[in-house]
Amino acid sequence: MADCCPPGHGCNAPGDGEPCALTLCRAAAEQEDDAALALDRWQALEASSEGDGERRFRRRAFERARNQALIALAMKPGLWLAARRAPLQAAVSSARSRSRPRGRAAHR
């Protein structure tokens, strides 16, 4: 089972119709603190080696942040649906457009 996604979802979903939780977090990190936190903790988890006594602790910390982020994202149907439709492309392009200076998006 993939560590990055909850059981039954994302990488652990039975089909391949769900985007990875990390993909969703990257797409949302600039708008959602929870998503940015989950990414930070994922990096900390990846940086720790097998046998590191802190690895389990880091995994729990990541899972908590990720679950919070997924709850926050689930309340934003637009982002969730866009990511579902084209998992990687939607996430990457929305992450890119968000990192540009705000202009056209101001009317939202």
- Contact residues for Zn ion, defined by CB under 5 A: 2, 4-5, 10-11, 20
- Determine the Cα angle at 29 with ends 23 and 33, to 5°: 130
- Give min distance, CB of 6 to Zn ion, in A: 9
Decide whether 71 or 105 has the Cβ nearer to Zn ion: 71
Contact 19, 70 (CB under 8 A): no
User: Residue 43: which of 62, 21, 25, 20 has the closest Cα?
Assistant: 62
- Give min distance, CB of 46 to Zn ion, in A: 12
Q: How far is CA 48 from CA 1, 15, 25, 35, 44, in A?
A: 18, 30, 20, 20, 6
Decide whether 8 or 97 has the Cβ nearer to Zn ion: 8
Decide whether 10 or 87 has the Cβ nearer to Zn ion: 10
Q: In angstroms, rounded to a whole number, what is the distance separating the alpha carbons of residues 64 and 87?
A: 23
- Give min distance, CB of 18 to Zn ion, in A: 9
Decide whether 89 or 105 has the Cβ nearer to Zn ion: 89
- Give min distance, CB of 106 to Zn ion, in A: 33
